[in-house]
């Protein structure tokens, strides 16, 4: 294998960072040297990614915002491409892998200008604008869903690998799902994405407060809340005798996921990947302002196979959620069936499969 490094190009948000981190760990275990290119948010990285050289470039989406914002973003993209061109010239990578985000596009464009082979990984069920721009001439396109909008069937570059997740979540696949007992506790976890969800802090407490007494008393709730909502939501639950723990972030999330009977969440790519990898049933409320409505597409993909219930944001009311919760909490067999469907939809070996493609491009062998 070549001694040249692999460059991973990713934006700084969790949805892009988590799969990049998982791939970095897998490639490092195979003896591949790595370098990272990202935006300024990468300065806060810890863990696996922080062990490798990190380079920062500017970026931007020419299609985002008003006219002046688009001009500024276009200039940022041009400058970021020039910066990435310089970094790639110094690093001399064997291949560049892009995960989307502002830093990914200029890096992949620079790699194209340098003649460096490129691989694009799409986490969502919609081929994002950034990746569509960057994918022209790419050696391989790795997807996380069987059907991805804006990707044509029959393209030989397409490889379904899944969306790599953290090892702490991947190992949950070995933890069997146990539905709630007839009179035992019901453990529910609510996560609102990397920035929390304002509507969750209002609608979900109202839905839970309106549950029948026997279900409400059995409920053991862990809910992610925005910091500004934390005291209000916690007080709401306490005043009604509801066993709830609220926090802006749960550092022990994998452990909570392992014991969860039901997860209520947004439908970001990383969330869906973690739910399917671990085999946990869910109610998914897609973020309504996600680019090209990609969260709805993600949620629909798992809803269609029976792993989740898609509750569109426009129908996300306390009464609608209450009805779903009552149905699920009183139907442990259905929860178990959903958990099985989620597990079957998961790709626990996504990092290994993506690494196989990277190594295949590095060595000149066709990815399998």
Following CA atoms 273, 167, 278, 147 in sequence, which dihedral angle do they give, to the nearest 10 degrees?
A: 20
Q: Which CATH class is domain 6-163+348-363?
A: alpha beta
For the chain, give every domain's residue range. Answer: 6-163+348-363, 170-345
Tell me the pLDDT of the chain (368 aa) as tens digits.
567 999 999 876 667 788 998 999 999 999 999 999 988 766 666 677 788 998 989 766 555 556 676 677 678 788 989 999 999 999 999 999 999 877 888 999 999 999 999 999 999 999 988 788 888 899 999 999 999 999 988 889 999 999 999 888 999 999 999 999 989 999 999 998 555 678 999 999 999 999 999 999 999 999 999 999 999 999 999 999 999 999 998 989 999 999 999 999 999 999 999 999 999 999 999 999 998 999 999 999 999 999 999 999 999 999 999 999 999 999 999 999 999 999 999 999 999 999 999 999 999 875 55
Q: What is the largest CA-CA distance in the chain?
A: 65
- Reported as a single tens digit per residue, the pLDDT across 181-233 is 989 999 999 998 555 678 999 999 999 999 999 999 999 999 999 999 999 99
Q: Which CATH class is domain 170-345?
A: alpha beta
Please, which residues have CB within 8 angstroms of residue 254's CB and are 6 or more apart in sequence? 166, 168, 169, 172
Global pTM reads: 0.91
Q: Would the CATH topology of 6-163+348-363 be identical to that of 170-345?
A: yes
Mean pLDDT for all residues in the chain: 91
Count of CB atoms within 10 A of residue 70's CB? 15
- Reported as a single tens digit per residue, the pLDDT across 302-313 is 999 999 999 999
| Closest by Cα among 146, 188, 179, 160 to 340 | 179
């Amino acid at each position: 294998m070549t001694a040249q490094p692999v460059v991973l190009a990713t934006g700084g948000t969790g949805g892009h960072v988590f799969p990049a981190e998982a791939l970095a760990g897998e490639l490092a275990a195979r003896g591949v040297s790595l370098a990272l290119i990202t935006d300024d948010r990468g300065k806060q990285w810890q863990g696996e990614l922080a062990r490798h050289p990190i380079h920062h470039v500017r970026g931007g989406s020419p299609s985002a915002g008003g006219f002046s914002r688009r001009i500024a973003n276009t200039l940022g993209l041009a400058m970021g491409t020039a910066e990435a061109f310089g970094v790639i010239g110094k690093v001399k990578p064997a291949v560049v892998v892009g995960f989307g985000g502002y830093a990914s596009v200029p890096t992949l464009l620079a790699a194209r200008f340098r003649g460096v082979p490129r691989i694009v990984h799409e986490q969502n069920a919609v081929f994002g604008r950034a990746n569509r721009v960057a994918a022209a001439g790419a050696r391989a396109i790795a997807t996380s869903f069987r059907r991805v909008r804006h990707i044509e069937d029959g393209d030989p570059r397409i490889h379904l690998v899944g969306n790599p997740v953290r090892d702490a979540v991947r190992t949950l696949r070995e933890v069997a799902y146990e539905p709630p007992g007839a009179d035992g506790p019901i453990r529910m976890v609510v996560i609102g994405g990397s920035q929390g969800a304002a509507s969750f802090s209002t609608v979900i407490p109202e839905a839970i407060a309106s549950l029948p007494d026997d279900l409400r008393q059995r409920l053991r709730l862990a809910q992610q809340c925005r910091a500004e909502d934390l005291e209000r939501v916690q007080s709401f639950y306490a005043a009604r005798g509801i066993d709830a723990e609220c926090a802006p972030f749960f550092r022990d999330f994998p452990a909570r996921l392992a014991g969860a009977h039901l997860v209520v969440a947004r439908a970001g790519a990383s969330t869906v990947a973690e739910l399917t990898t671990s085999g946990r049933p869910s109610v998914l409320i897609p973020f309504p302002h996600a680019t090209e409505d990609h969260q709805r597409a993600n949620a629909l993909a798992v809803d269609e196979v029976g792993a989740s219930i898609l509750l569109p944001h426009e129908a996300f009311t306390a009464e609608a959620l209450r009805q779903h919760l009552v149905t699920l909490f009183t139907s442990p067999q259905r929860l178990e069936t959903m958990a099985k469907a989620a597990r079957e939809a998961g790709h626990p070996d996504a990092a290994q499969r993506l690494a196989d493609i990277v190594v295949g491009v590095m060595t000149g062998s066709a990815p399998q």
